Chain A
Amino acid sequence: MIYRILKILFAVWVGLWMAFFVRELFIKNNIRDYEALISRTLEGKHAYVTGDKLYGFLSHCKEIMPEIAKYKFVNIEEGSLDRRRAVYYLYPRVEGKDPDFIIDMAQLMIKKAKE
């Protein structure tokens, strides 16, 4: 009896496993991401996961700011994922209290702090 119940549970388990596997690929549409990512370079993948527009802007910021520069973000939530990614991509440039640059994350604009 117990063995039979366990066999049924296993069959249900396998059914759910297959359903969730398909859901993960097709209903959550991860397959679309994989298709888009597979042919991209590492830079292209960074751009895709961050958003092409934001990543392009952060690359522009990296070109403008010297590596020792400090910056301050405005118009972005403190703990947001975009902010965390921006901090990661911009390093060794760091956030500072006396910034050299102000980065407006809503307008995607960068300007010198003391102009």
Chain B
Amino acid sequence: MEIVALSGGIIALIFIGLNVLHMVMGSSKENRCLPLFPLETIFISYGIGLGFISLEMLIFYLFGVKFTVYGLLIPWVVLIAVNAIRYVAHRDKIVIETRTTESEERYKFLNIFLISGISLEAVYAFFRALIKPIESYDAVAIYAIKSKIFFIAKAIPETYFPILIHGFPHPDYPLNIPLSETFFYIAMGSLNDQLVKIIFPLFFLGILILLYYAIRRFASRTYALLFTFLLASIPHFNAYAANAYQELPLSFYYFSSALLLFSWIEDKKSLRPLVLSAIMVALAGWTKNEGLMYCAINTVLVLFFSMRTIRKDMTWKTLFAPIAYIVIVGLLLLPWIWIKHKFGIANDEINLANLNPVYLFNQIHKLVPIFYELQKQLFGPKKWILLWPVVIFAAALNYRKLFKGIRGYISVSIILAFLGYILFYMISYVDVVFFASKTWARFLLHFLPLLVLWLAYILKEDVKI
């Protein structure tokens, strides 16, 4: 019965996400919208549905409303009705990519091997996640305890932000996943912290799907399968699909936001992918504090692109794009930022006031352990197999292509993410050796799918399949 309720909850979330997606991407003019593949649509909808239902729960807290399944689902009827009216009146719909894949006889064996490898990793991720209840350190201490509090109270208790939250570690961490877990507990009617872990392998699968179709847009099926397999086979990536940490949800939201941003940069016809990118990156900020850094990185890219094109294309769209991006991200994060401000909830490890040249200069000595720990990560095959040596090899081989076209935007995103994490370490109060050894590998996961996409772009001319 719990499995049926859980499945119903997932379908409801996807349906809500689909309606948000339809609201943003639905258009009667097919040529003005980015076509999405059906599986891509489902997983983007899943991410949006999860993020929006948890934001709704936060807003319920502001109005003192208790959580019930019907109470949480009913407000979405308005959106569904609006979409239905739009469809009936204007035939507005999401453009679904109908391109089919021709079988490539030449690489038949390789394709079968790659599909088998990806399937094995996906099945193993679900198995590993669902065989155990939530038990790993952060998952229990930071997130599951919060979802238990919310489930028992069927609300975010009034005393939660002023009092209760301070009894547990990291009160400032965003609540997307704890509230999503709560939603599933409420749907199941029980605190089944084993089944609720399905959230995480679904994000794992979602990332693989997004990567596959992102590569399919510029390369063959075998080529897309190859890089999807490379990502799926990275042991550290698979491990985080099962331990109920927030790294893969964050990675999913950031990756999808980056893909949509790049498709807007390449296409420029419509602002819709940009709006969706803003929504996805805001949800990254609502998932983990590191997501705020990705909000900043994407905004920098939007500003940079707009400034570059403004000379050639001085239209309202070019002027409006960065403002729209910032406003959408800000609006979605506003309730959480306001609550944090109201109750004085701050991070106890990092102080952004330390982001000044004098403080940073005094922390230069931290660079040695930061880079030492980083190189330990990069060249340890147990976690990454050969990923980082291949990345370095590919970059050295194709250094002239690194900053050309869309590859340039991806390269800049990855460099900014690296720099961002180095800054985190420098402004943190935590012992840098301890902090870097515990977190570098996790941080690298946040932009890992983007790195694999970058690799696919860079090696396109070298790998002829």
Interface residues of A (CB under 8 A from B): 2-3, 5-6, 9-10, 12-13, 16-17, 20-21, 24, 33-34, 37-38, 42, 45-46, 49-50, 81, 84-85, 87-88, 91-92, 94-95
Distance A104 CA – B268 CA, assembled complex (angstroms): 64
Q: Is the CB of A88 within 8 A of B386?
A: no
SS class of chain B's interface: helix, strand, loop or mixed?
helix
Q: Which of A6, A24, A88 contacts B463 (CB 8 A)?
A: A6
When distances are taken between beta carbons in the complex, the residues of chain A under 8 Å from B386 are 9, 12-13, 16
When distances are taken between beta carbons in the complex, the residues of chain B under 8 Å from A84 are 137, 140-141, 145
Q: Is the CB of A3 within 8 A of B462?
A: yes
Sort A-B residue pairs by CB-CB distance and give the 10 closest, nearest first. Answer: A84-B141, A49-B135, A17-B233, A16-B385, A88-B140, A2-B462, A88-B145, A37-B131, A20-B235, A13-B386
Q: Is the CB of B464 within 8 A of A42?
A: no
- Would you mind naming 13 contact pairs between A and B with Cβ atoms under 8 Å apart? A2-B462, A13-B385, A13-B386, A13-B390, A20-B385, A21-B235, A33-B131, A34-B127, A49-B133, A50-B135, A81-B140, A88-B144, A92-B152
Interface residues of B (CB under 8 A from A): 117, 127, 131-133, 135, 137, 140-141, 144-145, 148-149, 152, 164, 167-168, 192-194, 226, 230, 233, 235, 381-382, 385-386, 390, 393, 397, 459, 462-464
When distances are taken between beta carbons in the complex, the residues of chain A under 8 Å from B233 are 13, 17
When distances are taken between beta carbons in the complex, the residues of chain B under 8 Å from A95 are 167
Total inter-chain residue pairs, C-beta < 8 Å: 76
Distance A37 CA – B464 CA, assembled complex (angstroms): 45
Q: Is the CB of A85 within 8 A of B230?
A: no
Distance A91 CA – B135 CA, assembled complex (angstroms): 15
SS class of chain A's interface: helix, strand, loop or mixed?
helix
Q: Is the CB of A42 within 8 A of B462?
A: no
**A53 CB to closest chain B CB, in angstroms?**
16
Q: Which of A37, A42, A88, A92 contacts B141 (CB 8 A)?
A: A88
When distances are taken between beta carbons in the complex, the residues of chain A under 8 Å from B132 are 33, 37, 45, 49
**A80 CB to closest chain B CB, in angstroms?**
9
Distance A12 CA – B127 CA, assembled complex (angstroms): 27
**A58 CB to closest chain B CB, in angstroms?**
13
Q: Is the CB of B152 within 8 A of A91?
A: yes
Q: Which of B131, B149, B230, B464 contacts A91 (CB 8 A)?
A: B149
Distance A5 CA – B389 CA, assembled complex (angstroms): 13
Distance A84 CA – B144 CA, assembled complex (angstroms): 11
